Amino acid sequence: MSYKRILTIQDISCVGQCSLTVALPILSACGLETAILPSAVLSNHTAGFTGFTFRDLTDDMPDIEKQWEKENLKFEAVYTGYLGSTKQIDYVESIMKTSTLPGALKIVDPAMADGGKLYPTFDMEYVEAMKKLVFDADITLPNITEACFLTGMEYKEEYDEAYIDELLQKMTDAGAKTVVLTGVSFAKGKTGVMVLDNGKKEYYEHDKIAKGCHGTGDVYASAFVGALMEGKSAYEAAKIAADYTVMCIQYTQGDPDHWYGVKFEPLLGDLIQMIK
pLDDT greater at residue 33 or residue 47? 33
* Percentage with pLDDT > 70 across the chain: 98
Higher pLDDT, 189 or 131: 131
Please choose, from the candidates 137, 183, 147, 140, the residue with its C-alpha nearest in 3D space to the C-alpha of residue 167.
Answer: 147
What is the rounded average pLDDT of the residues 194-213?
89
Mean pLDDT of the chain: 95
Q: Which helix (H) or strand (E) segment is 235 a member of?
A: helix 234-252
Indicate if the alpha-carbon torsion angle 232, 238, 244, 245 is positive or negative. Answer: positive
- Counting runs of H as helices and runs of E as strands, what totals does the chain give? 9, 11
Q: Strand, helix or coil at 168?
A: helix
Mean pLDDT over 216-226 rounds to 97
- Interatomic CA distance for residues 79 and 200, integer angstroms: 23
Instruction: Give residue 215's pLDDT band: very low, low, confident or very high (50, 70, 90).
Output: confident
Predicted confidence (pLDDT) per residue in 128-164, tens digit:
999 999 999 999 999 999 999 999 999 999 999 999 9
CA distance 62 to 215: 28
At residue 120 the predicted structure's pLDDT band, cuts being 50, 70 and 90, is confident
Q: What is the pLDDT of residue 209?
A: 81
Residue 211: which pLDDT band, with cuts at 50, 70 and 90? low
Distances (CA, A) of 120 to 83, 84, 259: 13, 11, 22
pTM: 0.96
Instruction: Collapse the DSSP code of 181 into the 3-class scheme (helix H, G, I; strand E, B; otherwise coil) and give the result.
Output: strand
Domains, the chain, ordered by start:
5-270 (3.40.1190.20)
